[in-house]
Chain A
Amino acid sequence: MVTQVTSFSRNGLSDFIVQRVTAYILAVYTVIVLAFVLTAGGLTYDIWRAFFDQTWMQVFTLLALISTCAHAWVGMWTIGTDYIREHYFGDNANAIRLVYQVGCVLTLACYMIWGVQILWGN
């Protein structure tokens, strides 16, 4: 088995399962938020705010945020290791891919912190 040092899980099977579980969570979350917006009629701040003030919705939104970051990481990692390779990018491929991966992680970390701040900071 090849151990990928840049994959957080260091294990493709675990990445596979993370990708699937987070996909199910995000699919359900998307449907629920969409159903709410479509059935709410004329959406106002008070209705929208009340929707997100419910405990279950806050828990679900945080879960969706974590899922988004994990899901995006596995996806972006896969894309990076598929395309940013010596065959396409020459000798600097490893360095370019590392910069790309660090950029992805930092972006997702910012998303995570920003999201938590939105949920509990307001």
Chain B
Amino acid sequence: MKNDHRPINVNPSDLFAFAWPLAALASITHRVAGVVLFVGIAFGLYALDLSLGSAEGFNSLMMMMGSPFGMLVSWGLLSALAYHFVAGLKHLLLDLEIGDTLEGSKFAARTTFLVSVILIFLAGLWVIQG
């Protein structure tokens, strides 16, 4: 017998009809940052390859990262890494049953965003200064 009353997910187009709790925003952002990093690994390996290959390679990488586009890519990837790192720590704390209450998860989500914004800002300063 087919059960027609199984729970289903909402349509993506309906997602914006809901008020997203901060914890949900923190979670989806963690996923998005993870996918960005999946692509970003290629940039990281390219940079590692170039920088360890020869002094010329190292210097040309520094040149690339000093260009406006290079700065943007560096900052973007560092930002994704910073967010994924902080939100990941939140996850690991959840494993230890820290921050798993309703109030705790709100506080943890707020803290995740706050710490990430600070790190992303610092990463921006660092990238600009070279």
Across the interface, do A27 and B89 meet the contact criterion of CB distance under 8 Å?
yes
Asked if A56 lies at the interface with its beta carbon under 8 angstroms from chain B, I say no
Among residues of B, the one whose C-beta sits closest to the C-beta of A110 is: B42
Residue of B41, B48, B49, B51 near A72 (CB, 8 A) is B41
Residue of A46, A68, A88 near B41 (CB, 8 A) is A68
Chain A, 32-76, contact with B by CB distance < 8 Å: what is the 0/1 string? 000000000000111011001000000000000000100010011
CA A107 to CA B95, docked complex, whole Å: 30
The smallest beta-carbon distance between B3 and chain A, in angstroms, is 15
Instruction: Provide the residues of chain A in CB contact with B51, threshold 8 Å.
Output: 45, 48
**B contacts with A: majority SS:** helix
Instruction: Provide the residues of chain B in CB contact with A118, threshold 8 Å.
Output: 45, 48-49, 52
Residue of A27, A76, A115 near B38 (CB, 8 A) is A76
CA A20 to CA B91, docked complex, whole Å: 9
Asked if B92 lies at the interface with its beta carbon under 8 angstroms from chain A, I say yes
Across the interface, do A23 and B88 meet the contact criterion of CB distance under 8 Å?
yes
CA A114 to CA B47, docked complex, whole Å: 12
Residue of A20, A27, A44, A79 near B35 (CB, 8 A) is A79
**A contacts with B: majority SS:** helix
Instruction: Provide the residues of chain B in CB contact with A107, threshold 8 Å.
Output: 38
Asked if A81 lies at the interface with its beta carbon under 8 angstroms from chain B, I say no
Asked if B12 lies at the interface with its beta carbon under 8 angstroms from chain A, I say yes
Residue of B8, B31, B53, B95 near A122 (CB, 8 A) is B53
Across the interface, do A23 and B92 meet the contact criterion of CB distance under 8 Å?
yes
Asked if B81 lies at the interface with its beta carbon under 8 angstroms from chain A, I say yes
CA A68 to CA B81, docked complex, whole Å: 12
The smallest beta-carbon distance between A22 and chain B, in angstroms, is 10
Known: A20-B95, A27-B89. A122 touches B45 (CB 8 A): no
Chain B, 20-31, contact with A by CB distance < 8 Å: what is the 0/1 string? 000000000001
Instruction: Provide the residues of chain B in CB contact with A20, threshold 8 Å.
Output: 92, 95
Across the interface, do A79 and B31 meet the contact criterion of CB distance under 8 Å?
yes
CA A114 to CA B45, docked complex, whole Å: 8
Across the interface, do B58 and A115 meet the contact criterion of CB distance under 8 Å?
no
Across the interface, do A30 and B45 meet the contact criterion of CB distance under 8 Å?
no
Known: A76-B38, A111-B41. A49 touches B92 (CB 8 A): no
B residues sitting closer than 8 Å to A (CB atoms) are 8-9, 11-12, 31, 34-35, 37-38, 41-42, 45, 48-49, 51-55, 58-59, 81, 85, 88-89, 91-92, 95
